[in-house]
Structure 1
Amino acid sequence: MAGKRVFGRVRKLPSGRYQARYPGPDGVDRPAPRTFGTKREADDWLAEKQTELRRGDWSDPDAGKAAFGDFARAWIAERGLSHRTVELYESLLRLHLAPTFGTVAVADVTPAGVRAWRAARLAEGVGPSTVAKAYALMRAVFATAVEDRLIRRNPCQIKGGSKESTPERPIATVGEVFAVADAVQEWYRALVLLAAFLGLRWGELVALRRRDVDLDGGAVRVRQAVAELRNGQRIHKQPKSDAGVRTVGLPEVIAADLRRHLERFAEPGPDGRVFVGAKGTTPRRNHFNRLWHAACARAGVSGLRFHDLRHTGNTLAASTGASTKELMARMGHSTARAALIYQHATAERERLIAQSVSDLVTRARTSGGRPLPAPDGHGTGTPG
């Protein structure tokens, strides 16, 4: 004779099939998601459910019913992300994810559905880099859904789906850098040189104040950055990572250019802005880009973006023999290895790197601007 049931209950329906119910850990009496052809099948299902509960693997079957679009928007809002990142994620969600998954329950998104979505996006001509960014966002959102026990498994299972393949960017030679610096408006000459030979980002450059520049000590302190939003709003913030707050050695070869700039164009006082536009305001990237392209055309340099100057700075610094940690400190890089974020080069070593960069620039200018050497013979290095 069968023993008395100790977990859940089974009843026979008028159709002849069997329904199983069990008490959830939240006190709610829950039915199985399907009926069973035999009582034994219903009993076996209850046994599996009881094992889940004992192991702590149970998840609320109703929890994953939230629409993906709503869950993703809440995910973005709760992350404490920078304004620029929020803009990017909201755009990816609105344009690439919500049209397909916006109203679909989180628990109903399947690996097959994700694969079909990705294939369709690529077939429609969406750039591979954009698709990779959208996929990475979706995978991160579902990872949180797994952590919250809304679903058991992340449906984003495409190997390499979030890997962005970007074309190799050019490295400006020293001669090209000075040619563009000579061709651009004179109040932007020092900005071009600092971007190339210190490797500073646009937002870091336009955020510089006089007190950040130590000409006697040969150093520039990066403390903040200016971010431009799509609506035109500008926000002063910390650099893009903790490693972005740093002191960068100033190559002696461009110290005189920076000194002249401070004397002629920078605002007065320790809090005065180092770089201001023609109308006395913080330069805007879109306006500067027009001047940049015109200067490149006058200098006979094609296909070079302003951010590519940072690549030049990376390559120059790497060719001095600086260690990985020293390069990370100089360029403001961060990695998944949290310990490396806080390992900064010593002030003396940073001064030596700056002097080595200065010597390289001087030699390149006197030798006709031949292409820069690639570090370790492995090509041109990695853009910052």
Structure 2
Amino acid sequence: MQASGETPKQAEIALKAKLARRIRRSSGSVELTADSAFTRLVEVWLEDIELDDLAPSTRELYERDMRTLVLPAFRDMTLREISIMKVDRFLKEQQKQSYARAKHAKVVLNLALGLALRYEAIDRNPVAGTKRLRRPKTEAKALAHAQVDAIRAAVRAWRRGDQKVPGPPPDGQLEVIIEVMLGSSLRIGEVLALRRCDVDLTTNPATVRNSGTIISPKGKPTYRQPRPKTSTSVRRIAVPTYTAEALRRQLMSSAGEPPETLLFRSRNKTPLTTNNVRRRLRDILKEVGITGVTPHSFRRTVATTVDRAGGTAMAAQLLGHTSTEITKRHYIEPDENVDVRTAEILESLAPGKSPGQAAGHEGGLAGTE
């Protein structure tokens, strides 16, 4: 178990409190029955996930979804009163607003009622009996090369030139961030977590090692988490020359700093937040009439480009996915083009051409009656 605090003493107190709660639960002193209020279950569940080894951002998301989506619907019920029909009806109402809303609500409700089942307060988890949520069909959309160049030009020209605008001049970091995303497929949080020691420009091609991500807990300072989103995301990636050149410029800006120094930092030497980078990119592109582009658009563009040249398996490996299905479904833009070799094969059906003249074939076409 782990706990943190602003001082060693506060960390020790927090750790003892966690241990006490776990001992209390394991000894059966936490009472939950079928007549317990749902609000009581939520209190116990929030304590339970605090003791789990969850990323702070995940824990915050679970708590927010429970309080904003689920609790208003079941606040006045006991565990006995929460039936499959009521849960199913609740999830259908959520899905009318959006699939994501329904999915988030189902996840936290399932976790909380699963805890009630383990405490033997209910005989079965009502969520298990509800109808499966159907994800709306969506298609990944990659950026065309002309769009990428237009984005580069807009970011490069922002607040530069003869136009006088208030505020500090741009530091050029966003330009480098875009080149790193385009040359590595890394998520925005992973790019912002790159350190000087993660970049190796002595190899050919140059490489970057993905080993962390940026986290911005609610009400707490932004920090670098020493692991990326998933364990399979830890990898060393060879990058193209344009990314290596951008990284070389960025390394020069922090020359003499320790190896663990972040490549991208605020003017106060603190980590950049993903939200600020997204907002800056959106505002810059809006000025030139480009909409709908997010940092994830670059990741989809990379996946689609690699898929076209090297196949889905290579794209999945680059993105750090364990399944090509995830890559294909969410990151690769569908290809409408049929293999051009089919036209050559079908030349055998040209008027007046004998079966023996079929391109690339021995013999003729099978006859039909």
Q: Check whether TM > 0.5.
A: yes
Match of 2:353 in 1: none
Superposed, which structure 2 residues align to 1:311-350 within 5 Å?
A: 311-322=300-311, 324=313, 326-334=314-322
Q: Percent identity?
A: 23
Tell me if structure 1 keeps the 8 A contact 2:303–2:332. no
Superposed, which structure 2 residues align to 1:121-270 within 5 Å?
A: 121=94, 126-156=97-127, 157-161=129-133, 163-165=134-136, 167-168=138-139, 170-184=141-155, 185=170, 186-217=172-203, 218-231=206-219, 233-237=221-225, 238-264=227-253, 268-270=257-259
* 4+ runs deviating over 6 angstroms: none
Match of 1:302 in 2: 291
TM-score (norm 1): 0.64
* 2:147 match: secondary structure: helix
Q: Counterpart of 1:205 in structure 2: which amino acid? A: V
Tell me the C-alpha RMSD between the 2 structures.
Answer: 3.3
Alpha-carbon spacing, 1:204–1:294, altered in 2? closer, same or farther (3 Å): same
- 1:321-356 deviation line (CA, Å, top 9, x unaligned): 2453x444421234699xx9xxxxxxxxxxxxxxxx
| Alignment size in residue pairs | 282
Q: Specify which of 109, 112, 117 is matched with residue 90 of structure 2.
A: 117
Tell me if structure 2 keeps the 8 A contact 1:265–1:275. no
Alpha-carbon spacing, 1:116–1:267, altered in 2? closer, same or farther (3 Å): farther
Deviates more, 1:213-222 or 1:112-121: 112-121
How far is the alpha carbon of 1:171 from its aligned partner?
A: 1.7
- 1:145-202 deviation line (CA, Å, top 9, x unaligned): 43454323221222223x5447545322233223323332422211111112311111
Gaps of 5+ in 2: 1-30, 156-169, 339-369
Distance across 2 between alignment mates of 1:102 and 1:289? 36
Alpha-carbon spacing, 1:376–1:122, altered in 2? closer, same or farther (3 Å): closer
Which has the greater radius of gyration? Answer: 1
Superposed, which structure 2 residues align to 1:64-103 within 5 Å?
A: 64-71=34-41, 72-103=45-76
- 1:184-221 deviation line (CA, Å, top 9, x unaligned): 24222111111123111111111111110011222100
Tell me if structure 1 keeps the 8 A contact 2:195–2:261. yes
Gaps of 5+ in 1: 1-60, 341-371, 380-384
Distance across 2 between alignment mates of 1:229 and 1:133? 19
Distance across 1 between alignment mates of 2:332 and 2:140? 16
Distance across 2 between alignment mates of 1:216 and 1:84? 36
Match of 2:281 in 1: 292
How far is the alpha carbon of 1:88 from its aligned partner?
A: 0.9
Match of 1:108 in 2: 81
Tell me if structure 2 keeps the 8 A contact 1:188–1:275. no
